[in-house]
């Protein structure tokens, strides 16, 4: 359970997931922020206003999956590093996931990295598809990795073993 | 030597900086002292992005918020004098205070003082807690984020409040192995997004556990942990050892209040706010009408709320000298509105409760 060990179970995550058919329409954000905390940078980060809070800043964010374009601009603005963008079926059996990465080294495009789940367990290896790290992101890189489609709901962090940008 | 000022602000964290900026902006001659080498208080150690409201700097790193406030201070240098490395050491009668810098002691006569001294860290009793290698979380942050020194290679964190969770994350960023995080309660105290962040990097979170002892002869070499029951009593035969060279305590903060007691402000003990705090009204005025308070010294909370409380205190201190005007009322109204929103919701419940008690007690006296 999230409140006891910091690991969100898939049951707990259900209320933050898009309906299955949404994945057919392209990348979509998944906001793994399930607690009512006084925080809201995600709301103003979204250019299409897809993130809303019902009662204001202390509510949890609710994503309008139809409005979300999967652009990923909200990812680096979230101090909880709780926003991921998932794109299924980028190739047969492959999906991609984008996430914030604030550890050195920053990986390079096409580099193989270790894929970690919500408990920090290794679930495999994946290729880095994209690294976005402009000054506007203020040292939070957004890394997109390729993962086996059946693992896309498990992978939530990466470990860069060697090389990368210093 | 002695100095004269209208408004005297003690402490250059987010609360004191904001109070001084507002008082000087409104037109009061203001003196700000801080006992450290660099203004910013806790903020200069905060390399993480802040949570909070995006119209008050959330999503920005703590250190950048400090830079912004210091920039405002510089722009006000005509009316706002800043002394770093200078501690306020006491209040005397006749609106005088003593300040001590590295090589001089001076007296300050002031008309209003705003005390924003922040907080001190709590310790924890366990066997061998005096071994070298046992640190407070603030000390670890200062070493790591101000001086660029790793406190150890393998660290055990005690306490799952936001400080324990965030400092663990910063340690991982500095290349330190965080071997575990221990929490006596059955649930994580801080924000769960911060907990998930360290969990997915492999840090085990031991809720319903405590530390029994630090291991080692001359320095920390490990720790013995065990499970606790719902009344924090160790459960026999659940002990196990973890290897580490550093133990970091993040078990809460207590408001730093000596100066209020000297100034004869009435104090009240409110657990939700971290212990003894000076009684104060919604203008942040204490029971000594010349002394105001803001920030963690008025109750442990957050930087965003410290800034807002500081703005109210700065505006009200000015008002008590020069009378009100539209700008004062606007600053106070805006800050109050933002505070209300920030303290709403379930995570703000304890603070709301504590704050209401302070106001009730003030009303009663
Ligand atoms: C790890 C960590 C993470 C945090 N994360 C967040 C976050 O994400 N969002 C958020 O909003 N808040 C966060 N906070 C909380 C926030 O930093 C504090 O609530 C805030 O700094 C309190 O401000 P303050 O001005 O009251 O006190 P402080 O920042 O503690 O400043 C007090 C200053 O007064 C000085 N001082 C004390 N006594 C004297 C004296 N006698 N004479 C002269 N100077 C004196 C001190 O040296 C210090 O500089 C975090 C805190 C920590 C430790
Ligand atoms: S991915 Fe883009 S469109 Fe979707 S919520 Fe985030 S910022 Fe908005
Ligand atoms: S910015 Fe992140 S942590 Fe803050 S409310 Fe939005 S999703 Fe949650």
Task: State the Cα–Cα distance between residues A130 and A9, nearest whole angstrom.
Answer: 28
User: Ligand 2 mean position to A67 CA, how many Å?
Assistant: 8
Same domain for B238 and B291? no
Answer yes or no: is pLDDT of B57 > 80: no
pLDDT value at position A163?
A: 66
**Closest listed residue to residue B208, CA positions, set B191, B188, B231, B183:** B183
Count of A-B CB contacts under 8 Å? 136
Question: What number of other Cβ atoms are within 10 A of residue A18's Cβ?
Answer: 17
pLDDT value at position B307?
A: 95
Same domain for B127 and B241? yes
Same domain for B210 and B239? yes
pLDDT in tens, B225-249: 999 999 999 999 999 999 999 999 9
Instruction: Inspect the interface and report whether the beta carbons of A37 and B191 lie closer than 8 Å.
Output: yes
The contacts of residue A115 (CB under 8 Å, 6+ apart) are A122, A123, A124, A125, A126, A145, A147, A151, A155, A158
Of B122 and A138, more confident: B122
Answer yes or no: is pLDDT of B316 > 90: yes
Own/partner pairs, B64-67, CB within 8 angstroms, 24+ separation: B64/A138, B65/B14, B65/B303, B66/B14, B66/B17, B66/B39, B66/B40, B66/B41, B67/B40
Same domain for B243 and B281? no
Same domain for B240 and B176? yes
pLDDT value at position B122?
A: 95
**pTM > 0.95: yes or no:** no
Nearest CB to B51 within list A8, A79, A103: A79
If you average pLDDT over residues B320-345, what whole number do you get?
Answer: 93
Same domain for B42 and B151? no
- 3-state secondary structure at position A65: coil
Nearest CB to B342 within list A38, A81, A121: A38
Task: State the Cα–Cα distance between residues B153 and B174, nearest whole angstrom.
Answer: 10
Question: What number of other Cβ atoms are within 10 A of residue A144's Cβ?
Answer: 23
Answer yes or no: is pLDDT of A101 > 80: yes
Q: Are B64 and B70 in contact (CB under 8 A)?
A: no
User: Which ligand lies nearest to the CA atom of residue A50 in the structure?
Assistant: 2
pLDDT value at position A166?
A: 52
Nearest CB to A103 within list B49, B173, B348: B173
Answer yes or no: is pLDDT of B353 > 90: no
Of the listed ranges A36-40, A97-101, B241-245, B265-269, the least confidently predicted one is A36-40
Task: State the Cα–Cα distance between residues B32 and B133, nearest whole angstrom.
Answer: 35
Q: Does ligand 2 lie within 6 Å of residue A48's CB atom?
A: yes
What's B44's DSSP letter? G
Same domain for B272 and B199? no
pLDDT in tens, A116-155: 999 999 999 999 999 999 998 988 999 999 999 999 999 9
Q: Which of B196, B224, B249 is the last residue of a domain?
A: B249
CB burial class (10 A; 0-12, 13-18, 19+) of residue A55? Answer: exposed
- 3-state secondary structure at position B289: coil
pLDDT value at position B364?
A: 72
Q: Are B131 and B214 in contact (CB under 8 A)?
A: yes
Report helix angle B303-322 to B326-342, nearest 10: 150
Distance, in angstroms, between B348 CA and closest chain A CA?
Answer: 8
If you average pLDDT over residues B76-100, what whole number do you get?
Answer: 96
Residues of chain A contacting B207 with CB distance shorter than 8 Å? 4-5
Which atom of ligand 2 is nearest the CA belonging to A70?
Answer: 1
Using alpha carbons, list the distances in angstroms from residue A37 to A40, B198, B280, B303, B347: 9, 18, 27, 15, 6
Residues of chain A contacting B58 with CB distance shorter than 8 Å? 39-41, 79
Same domain for B112 and B128? no
Instruction: Inspect the interface and report whether the beta carbons of B202 and A119 lie closer than 8 Å.
Output: yes
Distance, in angstroms, between B363 CA and closest chain A CA?
Answer: 29
Nearest CB to A156 within list B195, B200, B342: B200
High-pLDDT (> 90) share of chain B, %: 85
Distance, in angstroms, between A56 CA and closest chain B CA?
Answer: 8
Task: State the Cα–Cα distance between residues B105 and B212, nearest whole angstrom.
Answer: 45
The CA radius of gyration of chain B, in Å to the nearest whole number, is 21
Structure tokens at A120: 């920090």
Q: In which band, very low, low, confident or very high, does the pLDDT at B1 lie, cut at 50, 70 and 90? A: confident
Domain interval for residue B156: 123-249
If you average pLDDT over residues B200-214, what whole number do you get?
Answer: 97
If you average pLDDT over residues B212-230, what whole number do you get?
Answer: 97
User: Ligand 1 mean position to B196 CA, how many Å?
Assistant: 25
pLDDT value at position B283?
A: 96
Total number of domains in chain B: 2
Domain of residue B58, CATH code: 3.50.50.60
- The chain B residue lying nearest A55, using CA atoms, is B345
Residues of chain B contacting A55 with CB distance shorter than 8 Å? 344-345
Q: Which of B229, B249, B269 is the last residue of a domain?
A: B249
- 3-state secondary structure at position A30: strand
Distance, in angstroms, between B199 CA and closest chain A CA?
Answer: 5
CB burial class (10 A; 0-12, 13-18, 19+) of residue A150? Answer: exposed
High-pLDDT (> 70) share of chain B, %: 100
């Amino acid at each position: 359970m999230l409140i006891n060990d910091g690991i969100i179970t898939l049951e707990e995550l259900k209320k933050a997931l898009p309906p299955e058919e949404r994945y057919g329409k392209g990348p979509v954000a998944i906001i793994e922020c399930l607690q009512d905390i006084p925080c809201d940078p995600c709301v103003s980060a979204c250019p299409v206003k897809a993130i809303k809070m019902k009662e204001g800043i202390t509510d949890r964010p609710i994503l309008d999956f139809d409005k979300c374009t999967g652009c990923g601009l909200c990812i680096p603005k979230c101090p909880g590093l709780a926003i991921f963008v998932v794109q299924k079926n980028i190739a047969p059996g492959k999906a991609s996931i984008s996430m914030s990465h604030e550890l050195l080294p920053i990986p390079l495009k096409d580099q193989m990295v270790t894929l970690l789940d919500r408990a920090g367990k290794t679930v495999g290896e994946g290729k880095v598809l994209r690294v976005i790290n402009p000054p506007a992101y203020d040292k939070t890189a957004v890394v997109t990795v390729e993962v086996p489609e059946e693992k896309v709901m498990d992978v939530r962090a990466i470990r860069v073993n060697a090389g990368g940008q210093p | 030597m002695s100095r004269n000022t209208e408004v005297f602000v003690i402490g250059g964290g987010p609360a004191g900086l904001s109070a001084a900026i507002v008082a000087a902006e409104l037109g009061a001659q203001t003196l700000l002292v801080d006992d450290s080498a660099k203004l910013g208080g806790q903020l200069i150690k905060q390399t993480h992005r802040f949570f909070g409201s995006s119209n008050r700097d959330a999503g920005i790193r703590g250190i950048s918020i400090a830079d912004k406030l210091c920039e405002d201070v510089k722009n006000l240098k005509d009316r706002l004098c800043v002394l770093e490395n200078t501690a306020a050491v006491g209040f005397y009668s006749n609106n005088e205070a003593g300040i001590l810098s590295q090589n001089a002691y001076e007296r300050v006569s002031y008309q209003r003082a705003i005390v924003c001294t922040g907080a001190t860290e709590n310790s924890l009793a366990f066997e061998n807690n005096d071994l070298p290698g046992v640190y407070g979380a603030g000390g670890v942050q200062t070493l790591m984020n101000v001086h660029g020194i790793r406190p150890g290679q393998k660290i055990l964190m005690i306490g799952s409040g936001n400080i324990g969770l965030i400092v663990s994350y910063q340690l991982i960023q500095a290349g330190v192995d965080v071997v575990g995080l221990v929490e006596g309660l059955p649930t994580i105290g801080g924000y769960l997004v911060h907990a998930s962040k360290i969990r997915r990097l492999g840090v085990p979170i031991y809720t319903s556990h405590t530390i029994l002892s630090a291991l080692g002869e001359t320095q920390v070499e490990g720790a013995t942990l065990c499970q606790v029951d719902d009344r924090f009593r160790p459960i026999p035969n659940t002990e196990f050892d973890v290897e580490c060279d550093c133990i970091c305590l993040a078990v809460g903060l207590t408001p730093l209040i000596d100066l209020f007691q000297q100034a004869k402000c009435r104090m009240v003990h409110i657990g939700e706010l971290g212990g003894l705090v000076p009684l104060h009204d919604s203008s942040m005025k204490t029971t000594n009408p010349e002394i105001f308070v803001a920030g963690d010294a008025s109750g442990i909370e957050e930087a965003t709320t410290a800034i807002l409380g500081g703005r109210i205190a700065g505006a009200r201190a000015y008002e008590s000298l020069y009378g009100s005007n539209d700008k004062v009322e606007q600053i106070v109204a805006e800050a109050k509105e933002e505070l209300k929103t920030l303290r709403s919701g379930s995570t703000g419940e304890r603070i709301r409760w504590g704050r209401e008690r302070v106001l009730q007690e003030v009303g009663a006296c």
